[in-house]
A = this chain, B = another copy of it.
Amino acid sequence: MTENRSDQIARGRPGEDPGPAPAPPDLRRIGANPDFWYPVALSRSVRKEGVAAAVFAGERIALYRAKSGAVHALEDRCAHRQVPLSMGVVDGETLRCCYHAWAYRGDGRISQIPYLAKGDARPPRGVRAYPVREAYGLVFVFPGDPEKAEATPLPDVPAHASPSYRTMTFSRTVRCHYSFLHENLLDMNHQFLHRGVVGKLQPKLLGYESGPASVEARYLFTHTGGKRNRSASLLAAEGLGGQPSSDVMTIRTEYPYQTLDLVPEKADHPALRLWAVYVPEDAEQRVCHAYGLLMIEKPRIPAALSVAWPFIRHFTERVFAEDRMAVEAEQRAWDEQGEDRNHEVFSLILDVRDVLRANGVPLAPRTTPVTRSCEGLAP
């Protein structure tokens, strides 16, 4: 467990006198570190010779799939008149702006301006291109320093390719800072929120470990009465054939990704594995896009999973809708209060806050026109 936590004062432990330590920066003003691979679209949403608009932390990105099938990611503006390239048209391996038909290659360079004549001004060279990769049915881009892209591995999601598991993919906009979602999943004491869907669950923290870029918590889940959703039972039991019982849930933030493994009582491997990441959409990072891969172990009778599949999706969507309601309420409170007034008491959550702070990047001050006009008026 890390000991150099920066928010000792805020925690207010009796008897402690940490001295005049500076207040840690507001977690909700810490941006996601761009030097990682982040999904920005489902692969299937970028169709052959098709175009899609994506975004990372306010940077608009035009994705297009060339005739060859390769996906490219360009800054989403034509260098000419700033019209989004995601409104454009694929032409072979290039992307043409819809307005005056300027053509761009996958590396962002302009390959043709159809009408340029002698005497016209020198055209710009092109726009930024992002390193891009496809994996797990997702399109990943590397929004940070492109020189680091090659050496930075894609996240490892081993169960995705395993024949023992089947994957359900989630893609949803959530109107909150990504950190609220890390805290939500790691703090299983919020089962009260899901009482209507999963019944009365008694999570017990078995232990946790924190590192410079990770926090991992293990909980024992026991169903203690009340209604229990059938899909929850399906998910919690050994494969899909067992009886409700005590399960061990391991949740891990490994910056910037998050995983959850659920091992049923008598099993030696997970019946359910979740991989998730929360990708900021806007420059202020008050909205994120949650991508999730939920991998469920196939039961002995494979058809059972096909039958259960829509129910599992429905159940998972309901739980996620409740989580979203809570974290979006947290964001609205932050927006109104203008700062993070959370008064956290749970040690491992304090740790994950430190991890997110230490591995993220400070957000630039607002640079919207409103702010700029204020600047202009200041003496």
Q: How far is the CA of A377 from the CA of B114 in the complex (A)?
A: 44
A43 CB within 8 Å of chain B: no
- B82 near A342 with CB under 8 A, answer yes
A365 CB within 8 Å of chain B: yes
- A345 near B377 with CB under 8 A, answer no
Q: Which residue of B lies closest to A346 (CB)?
A: B120
Q: Which residue of B lies closest to A117 (CB)?
A: B205
Q: Which residue of B lies closest to A367 (CB)?
A: B338
A189 CB within 8 Å of chain B: yes
Say which residue of B99, B120, B334, B377 sits within 8 Å of A371 (CB atoms): B377
A225 CB within 8 Å of chain B: no
A13 CB within 8 Å of chain B: yes
Q: A203 contacts which chain B residues (CB < 8 A)?
A: 115
Q: A370 contacts which chain B residues (CB < 8 A)?
A: 370-371
Q: List 21 A-B contacts (CB under 8 A).
A: A79-B343, A80-B344, A81-B344, A82-B330, A82-B334, A82-B342, A96-B192, A99-B193, A99-B326, A99-B329, A100-B192, A113-B345, A114-B189, A338-B368, A338-B372, A365-B377, A366-B373, A371-B377, A374-B377, A375-B378, A379-B379
- A81 near B342 with CB under 8 A, answer yes
- The residues in A between 72 and 105 inclusive whose CB is less than 8 angstroms from any CB of B are 77, 79-84, 87, 96, 98-101
Q: Convert A1-42 into 0s and 1s, putting 1 for each residue whose CB lies closer than 8 angstroms to a CB of B.
A: 000000000011110000000000000000000000000000
Q: A124 contacts which chain B residues (CB < 8 A)?
A: 343
Q: Convert A182-197 into 0s and 1s, putting 1 for each residue whose CB lies closer than 8 angstroms to a CB of B.
A: 0000010110110000
In the complex, the 9 A-B pairs of residues with the closest C-beta atoms, listed nearest first: A82-B333, A101-B192, A374-B374, A11-B121, A378-B378, A115-B189, A121-B345, A83-B329, A124-B343
Q: A44 contacts which chain B residues (CB < 8 A)?
A: none
Say which residue of B119, B326, B345 sits within 8 Å of A83 (CB atoms): B326
A123 CB within 8 Å of chain B: yes
A317 CB within 8 Å of chain B: no
Distance of A224 from chain B, by nearest CB (Å): 12
